[in-house]
């Protein structure tokens, strides 16, 4: 994700953040963004969180910043949009777990969520959601 973000000029900062906060994207000018990602989260979680935040930037979601939470919270940050969050998740899933490749792997007999998650360098939770959304579970 560092290489992808670097190609389009988005810097990624690994920082200590509250445990419930996975990442945040902030607009710092016209078409300029930075992403902060929680350095205490696992590599698969960080990778998906950065892809999710990149989705907000690429899809031009209206808020000046977005926050990605690791756990359910009853508080919704200002400018929260359920549609934007779903769209950013779909963007990240498509970027990191290409539908064609996942379907090919599944058809070839790779059915173990952990094995697939390791193959695509994402968390087991992210791969589980991807398989469900592709109707492969």
User: pTM for this one?
Assistant: 0.85
Q: What is the DSSP string of the chain?
A: -HHHHHHTT-EEEEE---TTEEEEEEEEETTEEEEEEETTS-HHHHHHHHHHHHHHHHTT-SSSEEEEESS--S---TT--HHHHHHHHHHHHHHHS-HHHHHHHHHTT---HHHHHHHHTS-HHHHHHHHHHTT--
Rounded CA-CA distance 61/8 in Å is 17
Structure-token pair, residue 96: 């990191």
What's residue 29's pLDDT?
80
Q: How far apart are CA 51 and CA 95, in angstroms?
A: 7
User: Which of these, 115, 122, 114, lies nearest to 97 by C-alpha position?
Assistant: 122
Alpha-carbon span 53 to 66, nearest angstrom: 7
What does the pLDDT profile of the chain (137 residues) look like in tens digits?
Answer: 999 999 999 999 999 998 888 998 988 888 889 999 999 999 999 999 999 999 999 998 876 555 555 555 555 666 667 888 899 999 999 999 999 999 999 999 999 999 999 999 999 999 999 999 999 98
At residue 28, the pLDDT reads: 86
Q: pLDDT (tens digit, 9 = 90+) per residue, 28-60?
A: 888 889 999 999 999 999 999 999 999 999 998
> Residue 76 has what pLDDT?
61
* Residue in the structure block whose two tokens are 């400018």: 79
């Amino acid at each position: 994700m560092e290489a992808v973000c670097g190609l389009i000029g988005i810097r990624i900062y690994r920082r200590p953040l509250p445990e419930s906060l996975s990442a945040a994207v902030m607009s710092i000018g016209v078409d300029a963004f930075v992403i902060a990602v929680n350095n205490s989260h696992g590599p698969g979680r960080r990778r998906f969180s950065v892809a999710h935040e990149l989705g907000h930037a690429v899809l031009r979601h209206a808020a000046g910043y977005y926050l990605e939470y690791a756990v359910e919270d009853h508080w919704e940050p200002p400018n929260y949009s359920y549609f934007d969050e779903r769209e950013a998740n779909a963007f990240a899933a498509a970027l990191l777990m290409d539908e064609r490749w996942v379907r090919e792997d599944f058809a070839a007999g790779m059915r173990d969520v952990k094995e697939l998650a390791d193959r695509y360098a994402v968390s087991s939770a992210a791969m589980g959601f991807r398989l469900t959304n592709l109707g492969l579970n």
